[in-house]
Amino acid sequence: MSDSTNPYAIPQSNIIVDNEDYGEIRLFSSQGRIGRLRYMAYSFSIIYGVFILAAALVFVFPNLLNSSTYRVDAILVIIGLFFLSLMFTPILLTIQRLHDMDRSGWLILLFFIPLLNAALILGLMFIPGNAERNQYGAPPPPNSLLVKIFGALPLIVMIFGMLSSIFYKHGF
């Protein structure tokens, strides 16, 4: 008797179980995990992008803030809501980073306590996440070259800023 006609055989199905080794990156979600370098690359890219976009808007529309029409006020409210939504994304990324370290996302409330917020920022940047699956999902995928470049960019900007302030103060 073959397995296909045996009524006591293990049932077969067409369902394909996908055992992924890596979790999915979700930019606008508090679910999942994100690694250190990707966290820095995404967070600082969004923050720098918002500043550059705001500076460009001020440069393109220099008299926008001096106008008093209702249409201009509506435009300013829309732009403000857009910037606020972009600034909310690093909060979601921080929660994912805490999940990568197998910690609760509620630890983000430490940002409101002086000195502990600095320790939290340093911990997010330097403490590695779990290499294996934890209660928040599978580990994040390996970093691409672009993530590595944008992850190193904040460090390069900080070093360049420190060196330029030293040389500017003391002269070349």
pTM: 0.71
Q: Whole-angstrom Cα distance, residue 101 to residue 93? A: 13
| C-alpha separations of 66 from 29, 69, 77 in Å | 37, 10, 15
Q: What is the pLDDT along the chain (172 residues), one digit of tens a residue?
A: 555 677 787 777 665 544 568 888 888 888 999 999 999 899 888 888 888 887 887 787 776 666 666 566 677 777 788 878 777 888 999 999 999 999 999 999 998 999 999 999 999 988 999 888 899 989 999 999 999 998 888 888 889 988 888 887 766 5
**Structure token digits, residue 53:** 């976009």
